[in-house]
Amino acid sequence: MWAMDAIGRAASGIASWGNAAAGIHLKVDQVNVMQAARLVMAESERFRSLVESRRRGLRVYPVGGDPVSKEAAEVLNEKFWESPGSYLERCIDYADMLEKLAAQLAEAARTYGHTENEIEAMFSAVARDAGVE
């Protein structure tokens, strides 16, 4: 079944996020839902770890003592990591959206009859593989 909207209708085996025009739509079934959830959660953990490891490198320093260098550094720092709409925040939002998608897939897995133990074991394995535990 294909997702046609962004309301996350996991009960019918659909997982999506974003708005209807730009969201990601996955087709899952009883056989692949757990694998899809694991892959999405693993990508969330991988991406979040990558962003955090590079966070320090986002800082821009003035290249000279002139006012333009100082002002340019301030503007770039604001754009890269200091403002609510910064590139860093966008990356964190992306990782959060992947986590929400994984949760929707877990709900679909429950609907398909997978047990809480199976779902918890799958997410624990992702966390363990990512070194998050």
**Is there a contact between 6 and 16 (Cβ–Cβ < 8 Å)?**
yes
pLDDT digits (tens, 9 = 90+) for 93-113: 999 999 999 999 999 999 999
Four-point Cα dihedral 115, 28, 43, 103, nearest 10 = -50
pLDDT at 13 over 80: no
Give the pTM.
Answer: 0.72
Closest CA to 122 of 47, 14, 109: 109
Distance between CA atoms of 37 and 86, rounded to whole angstroms? 28
pLDDT of residue 132: 62
Is residue 59 very low, low, confident or very high in pLDDT (cuts 50, 70, 90)?
A: confident
pLDDT digits (tens, 9 = 90+) for 15-51: 444 444 456 677 889 989 999 999 999 999 999 999 9
pLDDT digits (tens, 9 = 90+) for 109-127: 999 999 999 999 988 888 8
